[in-house]
């Protein structure tokens, strides 16, 4: 939706010892537009060990799984960079995170300053990005963030009849980000928030 901004600045003119105040003429900008990110997220799983195990095989205790979170900031006429992306992923109680295993890439390049160790507000909730005091996860328009991390299966008794593909589905993923409103060269405070959830 386009919008404009108008201003009527007053001014003062001094002539000799007299000071006169005048109303300025009105000035209106050209149409401006609010832009925001449009995020599309996906999540997949594969086995790291044992080698050669297929995603459809049952998971057993000691298996190491790798989760791949793919977040794309779609291109469009009114799209913008997704600033301060925040990723929250909830693990089932049957697995534990492999310390130091998280990696983040944007358009195939390692993210500078990425904090690999997530915040853990609860035992099974992992948080990367803004709420982990990490401002490195900004996704430009048309680019893709890929976050991978590994977990170890510590108890397969409650999911013995499920394939490992089911493990991917029961992880709840929430992604949040901010957009910024720009008017000319000015940058205004946070305004709009876009969230994506993948179950």
Residue 103 CB burial class (10 angstroms; 0-12, 13-18, ≥19)? middle
What are φ and ψ of residue 101, in 5° steps?
-85, -15
- Domain assignments of the chain as residue spans, ordered by start: 35-198
Q: Cα 97 to the chain's mean position, in Å?
A: 20
For the residues 15-30, what does the mean pLDDT come to?
Answer: 58
Alpha-carbon distance of 194 to 199, in angstroms, equals: 17
Higher-scoring residue by pLDDT: 166, 5? 5
Alpha-carbon distance of 46 to 65, in angstroms, equals: 6
Sequence-distant (6+) residues with CB within 8 A of 128 are 86, 87, 102, 104, 114, 115, 118, 119, 134, 137, 147
Q: The whole model's pTM is what?
A: 0.72
Give the model's pLDDT for residue 23: 58
The class level of CATH for 35-198 reads: mainly beta
pLDDT digits (tens, 9 = 90+) for 37-69: 888 888 888 899 998 888 778 888 999 999 999
What share of the chain in percent tops pLDDT 70?
63
Give the model's pLDDT for residue 197: 42
**CA distances in angstroms from 6 to 1, 32, 45, 69, 183, listed in the order given:** 17, 12, 53, 44, 12
Give the model's pLDDT for residue 162: 38
pLDDT digits (tens, 9 = 90+) for 129-163: 999 999 999 999 999 999 999 999 998 776 543 34
For the residues 109-120, what does the mean pLDDT come to?
Answer: 96
Give the model's pLDDT for residue 191: 37
Give the model's pLDDT for residue 5: 58
- Token code pair at residue 78: 């009114």
pLDDT digits (tens, 9 = 90+) for 169-195: 445 667 777 665 544 433 333 333 444
* Res. 19: pLDDT tops 70: no
Alpha-carbon distance of 11 to 20, in angstroms, equals: 9
């Amino acid at each position: 939706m386009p919008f404009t901004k108008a201003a009527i600045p007053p001014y003062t003119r001094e002539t000799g010892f007299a000071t006169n105040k005048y109303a300025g003429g009105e000035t209106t900008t050209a149409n401006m537009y609010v832009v925001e990110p449009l995020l599309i997220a996906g999540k997949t799983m594969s086995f790291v060990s044992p080698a050669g195990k297929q995603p459809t095989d049952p998971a057993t205790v000691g298996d190491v799984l790798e989760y791949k979170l793919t977040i794309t900031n779609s291109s469009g006429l009114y799209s913008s960079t997704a600033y301060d992306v925040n990723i929250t992923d909830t693990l089932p109680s049957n697995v534990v995170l492999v310390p130091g295993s998280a990696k983040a890439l944007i358009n195939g390049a390692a993210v500078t300053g990425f904090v690999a160790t997530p915040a853990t507000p609860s035992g099974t909730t992992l948080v990367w990005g803004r709420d982990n005091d990490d401002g490195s996860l900004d996704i430009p328009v048309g680019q893709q963030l890929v976050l991978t991390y590994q977990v170890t299966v510590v108890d397969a008794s409650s999911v013995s009849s499920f394939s490992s593909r089911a493990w991917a589905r029961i992880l709840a993923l929430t992604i949040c980000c901010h957009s910024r409103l720009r008017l000319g060269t000015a940058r205004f405070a946070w305004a709009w928030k876009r969230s994506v959830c993948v179950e």
